[in-house]
Chains A and B, each alone.
Chain A
Amino acid sequence: MVEWTDFERQTIAGIFAKIDYETTGATALARCLIVYPWTQRYFGNFGNLYNAGAIKINPLIAKHGTIIVHGLDRALKNLDNIKDAYTELSVLHSDKLHVDPDNFRLFSDCLTLTLAAQMGADFNADVQAAFQKFMLVVVSALKRQYH
């Protein structure tokens, strides 16, 4: 089981209490598809991804970004058992969506940078460490059911 300090719990709760799921999710996913273009392989049915401009204004990508960030709520509500909380999502990503789990790390990095840009100086080293630890645990849980 993962040990969380009070600071980490408060920091993570604080971040999620303040973020705008729509903007943050949309921005992070668009950034991921632009910075790591091979991630576009999973979005063949999402319309125009022809260039960065198109990706940034694509409404299907924006909607999906929001869904992904809401997917993190599950971890927020189950901090003491993230591993089990993500069993079904892990099976989904492995067996139905066939997503290479390395993509979780790539999205996680883009989400981190999106938050850093939004939070500015508030995203200090300790906050960054807490958030990155949180994402690492979620990513690990998402990889668990791959076989």
Chain B
Amino acid sequence: MSLTDRDKATVRTFWAKVAGNTEAVGTNALSRMLTVYPQTKTYFAHWKDLGPGSINVRKHGKTVVDGIGAAVMKIDDLQKGLLSLSELHAFQLRVDPTNFKILNHCILVVLAITFPAEFTPEAHVAVDKFLAAVALALSDKYR
């Protein structure tokens, strides 16, 4: 389900609103994921504190959402643009790609909560497609 020009324009416009809020959105999405899908905690056994206020969750949430923001800039060629991140996830982090879908869902929930008026069905479909494309590009180097 490839991104149309309209999808890309919708994503760019919508993500501009997220840009000022990356730590809040990222922290909320990540901590939500750790609670709602406890199996995801297995990737963070090295963090002492997994609570929503923890410095690790805040920092990492921001890192992930900033990464997605960077992907928006590379929306015309995600595979090329996310090559090094894909290698990181494939060879070092080895996060099972099912988890990308899980985190994407949590991001959508946070977007619905944070931007109830702007997260229209039209914005939702474009962002959902984009996040799926990011997940695909991230898993590109896995095998």
Interface residues of A (CB under 8 A from B): 30-31, 34-35, 52, 56, 109, 112-114, 116-121, 123-126, 128-129, 132
Q: Is the pair B125, A128 in contact by a Cβ cutoff of 8 Å?
A: no
Name the B residues within 8 Å of A113 (CB-CB): 108-109, 112, 119, 124
Interface residues of B (CB under 8 A from A): 31-32, 35-36, 52, 105, 108-109, 112-113, 116, 119, 121-122, 124-125, 128
Q: How far is the CA of A129 from the CA of B33 in the complex (A)?
A: 9
Q: How far is the CA of A56 from the CA of B120 in the complex (A)?
A: 11
Q: Is the pair B113, A34 in contact by a Cβ cutoff of 8 Å?
A: no
**B contact patch SS:** helix
**B116: contacting residue among A120, A129, A132, CB under 8 A:** A120
Q: Is the pair B32, A52 in contact by a Cβ cutoff of 8 Å?
A: no
> Which partner residue on chain A sits nearest B35 by CB separation?
A125
Q: Is the pair A117, B36 in contact by a Cβ cutoff of 8 Å?
A: no
| Chain B min CB distance to A74 (Å) | 24
14 contacts between A and B (CB under 8 A): A30-B121, A31-B121, A31-B124, A35-B124, A52-B122, A109-B105, A116-B113, A117-B116, A124-B32, A125-B31, A128-B32, A128-B35, A128-B36, A128-B109
**A129: contacting residue among B36, B52, B112, B121, CB under 8 A:** B36
Q: Is the pair A34, B109 in contact by a Cβ cutoff of 8 Å?
A: no
Q: Is the pair B109, A35 in contact by a Cβ cutoff of 8 Å?
A: no
Name the B residues within 8 Å of A34 (CB-CB): 121-122, 124-125
